[in-house]
Amino acid sequence: MKIFPSLNTLLPRSLFGRTLLILLLPTLLVQAVTTYIFYDRHWDHVSRNMALSLAGEIAMLVDEIHATGYTNFSPRGHKAKQFMNLDLEFAKTKKHDPKKLKPLDVPSFMKELGQRIKEPFLIYEEPGGDDLLVVISFEEGYLTVRTSRKRLVSSTTYIFILWMSGAAVLFTGLSIYFLRGQLRPLSVLAQAADDFGRGMDSPDFRPRGALEIRHAATAFLTMRDRIQRFVTQRTGMLSAISHDLRSPLTRMKLRLAMMPASPDRDALTEDVSHMEHMVAEYLQFARGEGTEAPQAVRLDLLLLEMAEGYAATGGDVTLHTPPVCSATLRPQAFRRALGNLIDNALTYGNRVELALALEPHTISITVDDNGPGIAPGLREQAFKPFERLNAARTPGHGGASVGLGLTIARDICAAHGAMLLLEDAPLGGLRARIRLPR
C-alpha cells in the first residue's frame, strides 16, 4: 500500500511543464537560499550596527544631561541636531499623546538602548511621516529624541528582494517564451504524424526547430514516403493482377458454356464464379486504397442516406435518430466501409440497426444485426482475408469464405485513424463498432 504519491503523479504531464520545472526549480531554490542567507546574516548584521550606533548616541546625550544638568543642556542639543541629526526636546510633561502615536517594535535597538541607560523609555512611530520618537522619562521631565526611521531600518533589504523578485519574473517570462518556441516544432511534428495516421496530408509540414527535432521530422518524412510508396506499389500490383485474371476467367466461362451439361461442368462453373467473386473483391480492396482527398462530411446525413438507400431496395435497415456530427474523412472510401459492414449484417441476418453517438474523444458508429453472431474467440480471425469461420456464422455456405468485406472495412477505418471492433449486439447477433477520432 502506497502512502505517499509517486513522483510522476506530482510532476506536470506535458513536456513543456516538465522542462519549465527543470529550468525554474534550481533558479528559485538558489534565490530562496540567497535571500535567506542575506536576510539572516547581512540584514541582521546591518540592523544591529545601526541600532548600536543610534543607541550609543542617545546614551551619550543622556549621560551629558546627568553631568551638566538640564539648564545647561541647550548648546549640546544644537550640536546633536547639527552633527547627529537628532532633534531633542525636553519638557516637564509629556508633549505627545501616546494614544495618537503608534508604538514601534525594534527589538535590537530596544535591547542596545536598554543596556546603556537606566531610565525607562518608549519608542513611537510618528503618523504620516518617516520619523520615530524616543521618549525617555526622567525625574524632572521627559526627553523626546526625534530622528529618521532610516537610522534603524535599512531599505537595501527591500530593494534587494524587489530586484530578486523582478528578475525572477522577467527570466521566467523569457524562459516561457523561448521554451514555447523550441517545443512548437515538436507539436507540429506530432500533429503531422497524427494526420498521416488518419490518412490526411500535411503539405506545409517541414523540419523546423532544434537539430534533434529536425532529425526526427526528417526521419518521419522518410518513413511516410516509404509507407506511401509501399501502399501504392502493393495496391497497383494487386489491381493489375486482379485485372489480368478477369480475361482468362471470361474465356473459361465461355468455354464452359459451350460444353455439354455434366456434373463436372457445373462444378467447374461454380469454381469459376467463386474466382470471379474473389477477383471482384480484390479490385474493390484496391479501390479502397485510392487517393481520394479528405473533406468535411456530415456523418448523420451520410448514415441517413445509406439507411434510406438500403430500405429502398428491400433491406430492413433502420437508423436511430443521430446527433448532428461532422468529421474529416474520405467520403467514398468510408461509405464503402459502412456498406461492407451493412452488407455483411444483411447476409447473416434479416434486420440491421444503425446508430451514431458522440463520445468524449471519439465518434461511435454501430451496425447491429440479428444473425447468429461470431464467437468472441473467432472475431479477430474474421478480419483475415477469405478466412473460413464456423458454419453457424455462414449458414448455407458450409463454413465458406467470408471474403474481404471486413478486411476492407478495417483497412479503410485504419486509414482514417479509426478502430473497427466486433461485439455482441443487443439484437442477439453481431455488432460492428467504428470508433472515429473527433
Residues 135 and 250 occupy one common structural domain = no
CATH number of the domain encompassing residue 54: 3.30.450.300
Residues 313 and 252 occupy one common structural domain = no
pLDDT in tens, 336-379: 889 989 988 998 888 999 999 998 889 999 999 998 888 888 88
Residues 428 and 302 occupy one common structural domain = yes
Residues 243 and 335 occupy one common structural domain = no
Inside any domain, residue 195 = no
Residues 60 and 127 occupy one common structural domain = yes
Inside any domain, residue 162 = no
Q: Chain-centre distance of CA 426, in angstroms?
A: 37
Residues 306 and 418 occupy one common structural domain = yes
CATH number of the domain encompassing residue 285: 1.10.287.130
Residue at a domain's end among 100, 128, 157:
157
| Tally of domains in the chain | 3
Inside any domain, residue 101 = yes
Inside any domain, residue 184 = no
The pTM (predicted TM-score) of the whole model is 0.52
The whole-angstrom separation of Cα 76 and Cα 63 is 12
What is the Cα Rg of the chain in Å? 45
Residues 284 and 317 occupy one common structural domain = no
Residues 33 and 150 occupy one common structural domain = yes
On average, the pLDDT of the chain sits at 79
Instruction: Spell out the per-residue pLDDT of the chain, length 438, in tens.
Output: 455 456 667 777 777 788 888 888 887 888 778 777 766 666 677 778 888 888 888 888 888 777 777 666 666 667 777 778 788 877 777 666 666 677 777 778 888 888 888 888 888 877 766 788 888 888 777 888 888 877 777 666 667 777 777 887 888 888 888 888 888 888 888 888 887 776 677 778 888 888 888 888 899 888 888 887 877 777 777 777 777 777 888 888 888 888 888 888 888 888 788 777 777 766 666 655 555 678 889 999 999 999 998 988 888 899 988 889 898 888 888 888 899 899 889 988 889 999 999 988 899 999 999 988 888 888 888 888 766 665 445 444 433 344 677 888 888 888 888 899 999 999 989 999 999 988
Q: What is the DSSP string of 92-144?
A: SS--S-GGGSEE---HHHHHHHHHH--S-EEEEE-TTSSEEEEEEE-SS-EEE
Inside any domain, residue 61 = yes
Residues 381 and 317 occupy one common structural domain = yes
Residue at a domain's end among 258, 291, 324:
291
Inside any domain, residue 281 = yes
Residues 265 and 360 occupy one common structural domain = no
Give the Cα-Cα-Cα angle 341, 343, 346 (nearest 5 degrees): 110
Residues 153 and 273 occupy one common structural domain = no
CATH number of the domain encompassing residue 343: 3.30.565.10
Domain carrying residue 92: 15-157
Residues 402 and 299 occupy one common structural domain = yes
Inside any domain, residue 308 = yes
Inside any domain, residue 190 = no
| Grid cell digits, residue 45 | 548584521
